[in-house]
Amino acid sequence: MRAPQIGFPQLVQDFFLQRLISQRGASARTVESYRDAFELLFGYIEKHTGTSPSALQMADLDAPLVLDFLDHLENGRHNSARTRNARLAAIHSFMRYAAVRDPVSLPVTSRVLAIPAKRFDRPVLGYLTREQIAAILAAPDRTTWNGHRDAVMLATTYNTGARVSEITALRVRDVLLERQTAVHLHGKGRKERVIPLWKNTATELRAWLTRIDGTAEAPAFPNRAGEPMSRSGVRDRLDRAVAVAEQHCPSLQGRNISPHTLRHSTAMHLLQSGTDLATIALWLGHSSPETTHQYLEADLAAKEAVLEHLADPGPVPTRFRPDDRLLGFLQGL
């Protein structure tokens, strides 16, 4: 006798509670990312078909609808291909679970799982010079509470190369200032790492912690309400610092600078100081060496230095002239 088909709402709840949280032990950030993907998907379906999330069935989530949703992310919400792929990864994960838990849905799940991730160009990493970093770190007004917090937060971000999510999650207990000065970061995928601090950063953190709630679980960089800062809040405070820094460092004008730019800058400065890629990967919490290798690819100065020690053995170049009209057309494309 064939087992009764599982209701779609129950399947979704089991995916989150059993598969992600209980079985895989997914981090809170992963659960939040998957939750956001499904909220967007269900909202799109309800708007375009009139079917509420609780009334959905597996057959409703066919490949054409998922493709329309992905197009909506890019064209309607103006999400990047990277974000589109992240939403698709969440849907794929659910479909793999559904295929095992509810074999009746295999025709639907197999077609959705066949939707590929979208390839996209990877731009050269943007990073700042040491002079530009120094101008930004000096910009906040340290005589005010907000300015003092911003100055220490930005200095800590650059020192550690932390992701913005790691900075907003930082607690007082994670700041180690006794025998050894370091910061305990809680990274992606439950990966943790301890990053040493420069003396100046440690001194600034000591002074800052005296101005906030010093209990162990309190956020190291709270907002005025005493809660952890949001990602957008950190971006806003960085924008303010950059606006001030531009007055003394004109090269910052017109630059799109995000908290992740500080992270890239940390990595590039470590590389330029002679630090090997393996150490940089540990510093940044990279799980793949390919991720760290992109900093080597972006270091144009290092490439130019190689050329200075290598003479060009090639002859004087001559212009190629095809002897066939069709080949000439192809060469001109």
User: Is 295 among the catalytic positions?
Assistant: yes
| 181-186, strands of its sheet edge to edge | 175-177, 181-186, 192-196
Residues 53-86: b if buried by 16+ CB within 10 A, e if exposed: eeebebeebeeebbeebbebbeeeeebeeeebbb
Q: Which residues have CB under 8 Å from 46's CB, separation 6+?
A: 52, 53
* DSSP-assigned beta bridge partners for residue 186: 192
The active-site residue out of 148, 149, 163, 237 is 163
Three-state secondary-structure class, residue 170: coil
DSSP letter at 15? I
188 is catalytic: yes
Looking at 188, 193, 240, 293, which residue is catalytic?
188
> For 187-238, where are the E strands, in sequence order?
192-196
Cα(110)–Cα(108) distance, integer angstroms? 6
Show the tokens assigned to 54.
């609780």
Residue 286 annotated as catalytic: yes
163 flagged as catalytic: yes
Query: Of how many residues is the chain composed?
Result: 333
Task: Pick the catalytic residue from 84, 87, 148, 263.
Answer: 263
- Please name which of 286, 242, 60, 66 lies closest in space to residue 154, comparing C-alpha atoms: 242
Q: 3-state SS string over 315-326?
A: CCCCCCCCCCHH
Angle at 96 between CA 90 and CA 97, to 5 degrees: 95
β-bridge mates for residue 175, sequence order: 183
Rounded to an integer, what distance in angstroms lies between the CA atom of residue 269 and that of residue 122? 21
Between the CA of residue 213 and those of 91, 130, 226, what are the distances in Å? 41, 33, 8
Instruction: Kindly give the residue spans of alpha helices, DSSP state H, lying in 76-194.
Output: 81-101, 106-113, 130-137, 145-160, 164-168
Active site (catalytic) residues? 163, 188, 260, 263, 286, 295
